[in-house]
Copies of this chain bind each other. A is one copy, B any other.
Amino acid sequence: MGCWQRGLTESGMSIVWGAMSSEKQSTESAWLLAAERDVQERLGDSEFDFASLDAISNLYRAAAAIRRRAEGEVLAPYSLSFGAFTILWVLWIWDDMETAQLAQECNLAKGTLTGMLNTLEKRGLVERNRMEADMRRMMVCLTSEGRSTITEVFPKFNSFEGEMSNGLTLAEKAQLADLLRRVTKNAQ
């Protein structure tokens, strides 16, 4: 169980087996074809773009699964949501950042960020300071406690990332990142 995307569709994967690098495709594809047949039957096996359907729906499915596991296993002990972790991470790398840019980097609406920064500020992990040059702007940075938190969490998160991409070769990981980058670009 649990290999469906958007419920069930594994259609399309048979098209290009030759291009695939993993050797266990054939074992998986056997029962996946059942689902594929259902979809084709329902959708009338023409006129739709199954390759894109496959790619995109798997994308969302993978992201949801990873997020849930990351929150449950890696982040929960620190009471961090995925979004909160991301905020700390970005600030860790960049030292400080304005709210607007931070929201964009973290893939959050700025209204959402406000709330999450409130939470993180209350917990003493980040600090907000208005900029003297422009009092509208707000500079956000980690407190030393925030820094020590992310310093402790990130290695665990990174090894979790390793687990999640277990079984992919270095080249495949890079290829995945590349393909996703191109998709992201289309989405922006």
Enumerate chain A interface residues (CB-CB to B < 8 A): 1-10, 12-13, 15-16, 19-22, 25, 28, 38-39, 42-43, 47-49, 51-69, 82, 86, 89-90, 92-94, 104-107, 155, 158-159, 161-168, 170-188
* In the complex, residue of chain B having the shortest beta-carbon distance to the beta carbon of A188: B2
- Contact indicator B93/A42 (Cβ below 8 Å): yes
Partner of A164, one of B15, B16, B52, B161: B52
Please tell me how many copies of the chain the complex holds. 2
Bound Cα distance A173, B51 (Å): 6
* In the complex, residue of chain B having the shortest beta-carbon distance to the beta carbon of A177: B54
* In the complex, residue of chain B having the shortest beta-carbon distance to the beta carbon of A38: B93
- Contact indicator B65/A187 (Cβ below 8 Å): yes
Residues in B neighbouring A48, C-beta threshold 8 A? 155, 158
Residues in B neighbouring A59, C-beta threshold 8 A? 59, 62-63, 66, 176, 180
* In the complex, residue of chain B having the shortest beta-carbon distance to the beta carbon of A69: B187
Chain B nearest CB: distance from A166 CB in Å? 5
Residues in B neighbouring A57, C-beta threshold 8 A? 161
Most chain-B Cβ atoms within 10 A of its Cβ — which of A13, A15, A42, A49?
Answer: A49
- Contact indicator A174/B61 (Cβ below 8 Å): no
- Contact indicator A173/B54 (Cβ below 8 Å): yes
- Contact indicator A182/B167 (Cβ below 8 Å): yes
A-B pairs, top 5 by smallest CB distance, nearest first, are A63-B63, A7-B90, A65-B187, A58-B180, A7-B105
